[in-house]
Structure 1
């Protein structure tokens, strides 16, 4: 009997505890509009690495920059550039590309998103407190295409062909598909002075690459190494906090303005490659 009474008191106490915890995280949704998220950005990437797996190629660490301009929600322009400051092979790595995109399908769905309330980290542990809030997610699917140029240092070891180093120059076009999804909500708790923005932007893409110009600058190596004209790639871009300082002048998100991009693909001579970069948004609109 006493044991049953003790368990009952414990259960009631537990219910009261969870109820009070729920009260402490009560919030108000101020806005829920994915169109409030940015559609124009310029970012700089202090670390933008390019790792080619081909036998003549190698690793380059670059300074990169990227940008996108949304003329409308369906039509826009984009581009990126990178030049190496550390490279295993002589000649380094340079890349420029620019193009346009056209979204032909737009849809919305509702998905729970995490609103970070607090974050702490020690030498032994990490603690994050959050609530899950339903948010509208806008998904745009479309086509993209543009021009691409890259120059990569290559080096032969002299075992099967003449030893030497040169540059592989590729110039051509890319064409493919992309899917962009974004959300941006504003919530406010009872003890907060201003609304808390929470959002994210993800872009996934897959392209075919065609290089009418595919040439090694050294004539001897160019005659010995088959370069080819085709390639392909797939990648993802993550914008952590897709809103402007003007929208929320006093709020700084965790890892504010961080952008991460990851790409895997294949190019002539370079073969399979992995490209990864991390940087910060300099301009959002």
Structure 2
């Protein structure tokens, strides 16, 4: 009777298995202009809620997708809308020879530069958001597939993002509505007098001032700063165009903060990955 032949240990077997597992409807999408809502991980055709990425019951899926080598396909692009309200996008696809892509700072920098090339190819006033799609295997996405993904992300929804041109229109409308409204209608008289001493003579000029700048102005303490905040909130409630302007500014700040925090978190995970490889 023959003894069963022992199979040789194949160190790449897990990688091959992981590739087969994630090839079924798995991808990573990020639309920078949407901030937190624009970062999506799809595993087996189902979006994973952002709060569950590193949850205990998701760790195996996460490792198979992001901490296991794959030959990635990266689609970088920019979503746009022209002055006629027509949506369009520009993209380019590349294969990432570096098999570990998601948290590697060098690859992240390559993706940013890749996206920047697409931004330079379109009318800046039309831009809604840059985006990239990373797929953990070699493939080629059709334009129709990319279009479906962008609509699924609601990147073309005017309620979510507006172009620079659209914001110029809203800004002009807001300025025309409030240009003749005196400061005293929305902030106390003494606060208005102090603001004028610092060449802030109208509401639209007040709106564009940075928080730290206002707080360090002589005569503007915490109490008067709160008066200013309440006045601007009241103004936004009363005038829709100003409310849109205020929301877009706030959304932009939130997106920038999220992108910076996401990059820092990615760096931590990458360092943890390198440490685990040493053990």
Shorter-chain TM-score range: under 0.3
> TM-score, normalization: structure 2?
0.24
Give the structure with the higher percent strand.
1
Give the structure with the higher percent helix.
2
> TM-score, normalization: structure 1?
0.24
